Structure 1
Amino acid sequence: MTQEHHIFKFNKTADITSWTTVNDVVMGGNSSSQFSLNENGYGVYEGDVSLENNGGFASVRYRFDALDTKDFSKIKLKIKGDGKRYQFRIKDKSTNKHAYITYFNTSTTWDIVEFDLEDMCPTFKGRKLDLPNFDMQNIEEVAFLIANKKAEHFKLEIASIIIK
């Protein structure tokens, strides 16, 4: 039997105060986003990506105490989207500048999306780094990012984030 651990499971009473949006305004852009719980208890990340002032991304992240990943090899998301492409990002140390990323496409129905941790590539500011893929012993941050090089409204619903 495969062991699973919820990194975050959304429900009507989930505490989402540790989820933080980080948009391109940190670099002068105009994108905006917000994170909330809906009436069904799902995390809802939505907003507008703007290309003005060299902008073009919006993200939400969740930082937590280090989670030991030695006995796990995959991330499993239960999500419902808007047909757009997103990045899922992890950091072994929340203070690192770089993150390990993978991409996924969404549909307007609930989907289970799985990624192998070892396939997540190190990147910084959209550029792949000359470092090994994720092989760390823990995770301290997960994030979702949208940056499709176009101005667009987006909406992503999240039911759970599981490591297995």
Structure 2
Amino acid sequence: MHTNIIYDFDSNKAINTWSVVDDTVMGGMSNGTFQLSKDGHGVFTGYVTTENNGGFSSVQYEFEKMSVKGYNKVVLRLKGDGKKYQFRIKASQSDYYSYINEFPTSGEWQEISIPLHEMSPSFRGRKLDMPNFSGDSIEQLVFLIGNKKKESFRLIIDKIELQ
């Protein structure tokens, strides 16, 4: 099985290509941060609130178009806090929609395997009447929390790869 690393965190890597997008873009009051830990992991933490029609926080990584030909899935090595998160990809930066997949976390280190063809198109929390992901490339990935409740969160990310 061949793999292609999309992102592998380490303590020497700058994370300025990652950016936090909260519901403040639409008037909400959630607050997420993204930092590099001493042991070289990406740490996405914060608080989600549903006040002012809010309810999500996300961290996104935009990159040069990357081919996914010959790969069937994205594998995430991460450690969550027992909450549910979404993993999202975009085939093109200009697409208004993302392809999403929800996954639970256990509080321990996990490898989450997400088949690309199971990622469904969504826009602002609504599933679109379009086929699931079948593209040849991706240009963006996002981790998002938005469980329709007030909660703090902590997601530690080690590696994201195609398999």
TM-score range, shorter chain: over 0.9
The whole-number CA distance in structure 1 between the counterparts of 2:160 and 2:145 is 17
Written as runs of structure 1 = structure 2, the 5 A alignment for 1:92-111 is 92-111=91-110
Query: The residue matched to 2:24 in structure 1 has which SS?
Result: helix
Q: What residue in structure 2 maps to residue 136 of structure 1?
A: 135
Q: 1:108 Cα deviation (Å)?
A: 1.4
Greater than 2 Å deviation, 4+ residue runs: none
Q: 1:95 Cα deviation (Å)?
A: 1.8
Deviations 1:5-38 (CA, angstroms, capped at 9, x unpaired): 1100000011210101110000000000010110
TM-score using structure 2 length:
0.99
The whole-number CA distance in structure 1 between the counterparts of 2:23 and 2:94 is 19
Unaligned runs of 5+ in 1: none
Q: 1:93 Cα deviation (Å)?
A: 0.3
Q: What residue in structure 2 maps to residue 15 of structure 1?
A: 14
Deviations 1:106-158 (CA, angstroms, capped at 9, x unpaired): 11110000010000000000000011000001000000000000000000000
Query: The residue matched to 2:100 in structure 1 has which SS?
Result: strand
Written as runs of structure 1 = structure 2, the 5 A alignment for 1:18-57 is 18-57=17-56
Deviations 1:46-75 (CA, angstroms, capped at 9, x unpaired): 000011101000000000000011111100
TM-score using structure 1 length:
0.98
Task: Tell me whether 1:61 sits opposite 2:40 in the alignment.
Answer: no
Query: The residue matched to 2:131 in structure 1 has which SS?
Result: coil
The whole-number CA distance in structure 1 between the counterparts of 2:65 and 2:32 is 26
| Paired AA for residue 94 in structure 1 | Q
Aligned residues: 163
| Paired AA for residue 128 in structure 2 | L
Unaligned runs of 5+ in 2: none
C-alpha root-mean-square deviation of aligned residues, in Å? 0.5
Q: What residue in structure 1 maps to residue 117 of structure 2?
A: 118
| Paired AA for residue 7 in structure 2 | F
Query: Percent same amino acid at aligned positions?
Result: 45
